[in-house]
Amino acid sequence: MPMVLLECDKDIPEREKHIYLKVDGEDTRDFLPISNAPTIPGTLSERGCAFCGAKLVIGGVLKDTIQMIHGPIGCAYDTWHTKRYPTDNGHFPLKYVWSTDMKESHIVFGGEKRLEKSINEAFDEMPDVKRMIVYTTCPTALIGDDIKAVTRKVMSERPDVDIFTVECPGFAGVSQSKGHHVLNIGWINEKVGGVEPKITSEYTINFIGDYNIQGDTWVLDQYWKALGIQVISHFTGNGTYDDLRCMHRAQLSVVNCARSAGYIANELKKQYGIPRLDIDSWGFNYMAEAIRKVCAFFGIEDRGEALIAEEYGKWKGKLDWYKERLQGAKMAIWTGGPRLWHWTKSVEDDLGVQVVAMSSKFGHQEDFEKVIARGQTGTYYIDDGNELEFFEIIDRVRPDVIFTGPRVGELVKKLHIPYINGHAYHNGPYMGFEGFVNLARDMYNAINNPLLKLAATDIRQDTTFYREAAE
């Protein structure tokens, strides 16, 4: 009975093929949940759209680039300030949002003139910014606005600016994963190779699939600098537009989030012969393994071992303090895709936490292959989970803490279950040795927070509670 039809799905029996319960003695390759498929009508998906995958996840992270969203204002607002991407230039992408603010009349008569006007206004208002990404959205794609023609005209009139276009409206794919793919392939085909970097080290990498959530990039940058490795391009955490045009000059592509950025690493290998090396950067064991893999490529293993020893000396004692107190806790992970398999083994090995349920919004088959291989038996694996399924799974596995996004997090809080923001973090960074101690701290604080227990107590019939609280 590996595939599970939940009680809440009895009227949508197709959902059975999307939910897997891992048991002993079965070949898990025969029971992978269906994934990267259209959401079944009648189920309330938690997925994001393809446009969101391009803008919110990847493009919108760049620290020196105007993000012009050609569509209604809601598309711009929904993909702004929902993730914490700090930058070292005053958090530029968090301060501003740009939109052509399409109205009904523009949809009827076309929005190309409005787009041209908006682009010029943005450059005029921010004369120090010379780079822009323009995105289509559902309505502007449906009416056929030619954003490439508009941007070519603007660039011909403003020779000091450079504009990249992403034609990936929300309906272009089944989830935000399509937006990842479109931006990756468009960037390498149109922009990579346009700028030459200044090489300052004999060891150079592209660090791909890290978005500097609450400072993740800065933690890992300390490691690369200590190892004497130059990062040519950050794709895209704390990165710049022109640095990403230099990706063809790195000796190695180090990939963290394979789902959102593995495409460009594959193309760099195909077009420029740059090898791809995948790593995990959450957890002590995984981070140490990642450093060893990168150092082995360059033949600097001694530097790697010295760095690992130094970081273990700083942080291992603190991690052990949390591990002693978190041992045996049950955790659910309901996030996008790769973090399921990045986190499940790391929290089990480094913290003694048991992962009892996982749900992916946009994972592909290979993501489920990895997470099921790394996960324990008795764990539920769900593709494109919905609200009612979450409630039923919670009743079955009774997690002590849930890592998920704010939308599901609000539901979880009403059930008085501790919740950690698995998308943008609570108090990150979470990557690296220091970061994983932060993750353990947030998990410990959430599980032991007395407020959730108090919130679950109905005090209306218990007058003694008032006296105890007053005392």
Output the pLDDT for position 83.
80
Is 3.40.50.1980 the CATH classification of the domain at 1-31+327-470?
yes
Looking at 136-140, 200-204, 405-409, which range is the least confident one?
A: 405-409
pLDDT digits (tens, 9 = 90+) for 7-56: 999 999 999 999 999 998 887 777 899 999 999 998 889 899 999 999 99
HEC states along 147-159?
HHHHHHHHHHHCC
Output the pLDDT for position 374.
93
Report the distance separating Cα 234 and Cα 252, nearest Å.
12
Output the pLDDT for position 108.
95
Neighbours of 348 (CB within 10 A): 17
User: Which strand ranges, in their side-by-side order, compose the sheet holding 19-21?
Assistant: 19-21, 380-383, 354-360, 330-335, 401-404, 419-421
Amino acid identity of 220? L
Mean pLDDT over 135-155 rounds to 98
CB 155 within 8 A of CB 162: yes
Rg (CA), the chain: 23
CB 352 within 8 A of CB 326: yes
Amino acid identity of 48? G
Q: Is the pLDDT of residue 462 over 80?
A: no
Report the distance separating Cα 183 and Cα 189, nearest Å.
10
Q: Is the pLDDT of residue 180 over 70?
A: yes
At 60, list the tokens. Answer: 């919108």
Q: Is the pLDDT of residue 464 over 70?
A: no
Q: Is the pLDDT of residue 467 over 60?
A: no
Please give the mean pLDDT across all residues of the chain. 94
- Distance, C-alpha 436 to centroid of its chain: 16
pLDDT band at residue 465 using 50, 70 and 90 as cut-offs: low
Q: Which of 220, 216, 187, 434 is nearest to 339 (CA)?
A: 216
Domains 1-31+327-470 and 50-191 share a fold: yes
Q: Is the pLDDT of residue 314 over 80?
A: yes
> At which residue do the structure tokens 């323009």 appear?
134
CB 220 within 8 A of CB 433: no
- Exposed e or buried b for every residue in 129-153, given b needs 16+ CB within 10 A? bbbbbbbbbbbbbeeebebeebbee
Domain spans in the chain, listed from the N-terminal domain onward: 1-31+327-470, 50-191, 204-306
Per-position DSSP letters for 309-336, written without gaps between them: HHHHHHHHHHHHHHHHHHTT-EEEEEES
pTM summary value: 0.94
Side-chain-side CA neighbours of residue 244 (13 Å) = 33
Report the distance separating Cα 138 and Cα 112, nearest Å.
15
Q: Is the pLDDT of residue 384 over 60?
A: yes
Output the pLDDT for position 463.
57
User: Which residues fall within 8 angstroms of residue 53, CB to CB, at 6 or more apart?
Assistant: 168, 173, 175, 176, 177, 178, 179, 180, 183, 260, 362
Report the distance separating Cα 215 and Cα 393, nearest Å.
33
Q: Is the pLDDT of residue 460 over 90?
A: no
Q: Is the pLDDT of residue 234 over 70?
A: yes
CATH superfamily for domain 50-191: Nitrogenase molybdenum iron protein domain (3.40.50.1980)
Element (H, E) at 413: helix 406-414
Q: Is the pLDDT of residue 471 over 60?
A: no
Output the pLDDT for position 403.
97
Output the pLDDT for position 455.
82
C-beta contacts of 372-377 below 8 A and 24+ residues apart = 372/20, 372/22, 372/28, 372/32, 373/28, 374/341, 374/344, 374/345, 375/22, 375/344, 375/345, 376/22, 376/348, 377/22, 377/23, 377/24
The CA-based angle 180-183-185, given to 5 degrees, is 105
pLDDT digits (tens, 9 = 90+) for 254-304: 999 999 999 999 999 999 999 999 999 999 999 999 999 999 999 999 999
Output the pLDDT for position 1.
57
Q: What is the CATH number of domain 204-306?
A: 3.40.50.1980
User: Which residues fall within 8 angstroms of residue 108, CB to CB, at 6 or more apart?
Assistant: none
Mean pLDDT over 73-81 rounds to 90
